[in-house]
Amino acid sequence: MISLIIPTRKRRPLLEQCLRSFAERATAKSSFDFWIVGDIDDAPGSLFKIEEFIENLGVTQYNILVREQSDFINEDYYNWAARQCKGEILFPINDDVQMITDGWDDLLLKIHNNEKDKSYYIRFDDNTHWPHNKACCFPPISRKLFNILDRIFPKEIAAGGADSQFYEIIRNLDRNIIIDTPNLKILHHCSHNKTRGKDEINSLNSARGAKFKGELNFIELNWYIQKYNEVINTEHQEEWINNYII
């Protein structure tokens, strides 16, 4: 199962385009579920009859989560939803994302089946280019990696910059868990790549980025490394004991 985690606010047309693109491009609508996260004050507008819209797409697996508005998008929306969903693949996206690859679910499930019970970070072309570190803006990750770190994006980063910072974390943990998937592509309709102008939500996130820090310090980065190595080393030790101790 692939869990798509989608925070949204005041962008209903973009949300509908996003949901429709993933539903229509999927090989099987039973292979994924939507986890939509909205704000209480915005729900009567952005989420009005969203259940009916989703079901008209032929999707029956979805969850609508509503909470008080928070400045900490990564921890209070993405990570919060990821702790509740059940997918073995966690796919965080924005409501301004449009899937353009037919059979995207098959591609991800094939990777998962080949890497089952392993940590992985999937990198693909999301047309939001970060040439300085080749990060993926919306990386699908394995449930195992999430369970180790308890993060789908760094909780220390409030809003913008979490994608590049998460990639730096992954590079420092283990570059071998990065899986490039050139056949998977989305369109990110955003101001970064000049495919759409700034709206109220973009401006709000920019303000959050200016108000709160956008990079991890050494101590914070080291926490991720120690957490990951602690689990992996324990697994290797248990494997060695099972294979060589009678």
Please write the tens of the pLDDT for every residue from 215-241.
Answer: 778 778 888 888 888 887 776 555 544
Q: Could you give the CA distance from residue 113 to residue 175 in angstroms, rounded to a whole number?
A: 20
Q: Could you give the CA distance from residue 42 to residue 103 in angstroms, rounded to a whole number?
A: 33
- Please identify which residue in the block is written with the tokens 């970060």: 130
Q: Could you give the CA distance from residue 111 to residue 31 in angstroms, rounded to a whole number?
A: 14
218-244 helix and 162-173 helix, angle to the nearest 10 degrees: 40
Mean pLDDT of the region 71-92: 94
Residue 182, helix vs strand vs coil: strand
Question: pTM for the full model?
Answer: 0.89
Distances (CA, A) of 51 to 14, 63, 65, 93: 16, 9, 12, 19
The mean predicted confidence, pLDDT, of the chain is: 86
Share above pLDDT 70 across residues of the chain, in percent, rounded to a whole number: 83
Model pLDDT, residue 239: 52
Model pLDDT, residue 79: 95
What single-letter DSSP state applies at residue 151?
-
**CA neighbor of 216 nearest in space, from 174, 167, 179:** 167
**CA neighbor of 202 nearest in space, from 187, 188, 212, 192:** 192
Task: Read off the pLDDT of residues 88-135 as tens digits, 9 standing for 90 and up.
Answer: 999 999 999 999 999 999 999 999 999 977 899 999 987 776 555 578
Mean pLDDT of the region 49-66: 96
Model pLDDT, residue 246: 46
CB 228 within 8 A of CB 173: yes
Backbone angles phi, psi at 2, to 5 degrees: -110, 125
Task: Read off the pLDDT of residues 138-168 as tens digits, 9 standing for 90 and up.
Answer: 999 999 999 999 989 998 888 878 888 899 8
Structure confidence at residue 200 as a pLDDT band (50, 70, 90): low
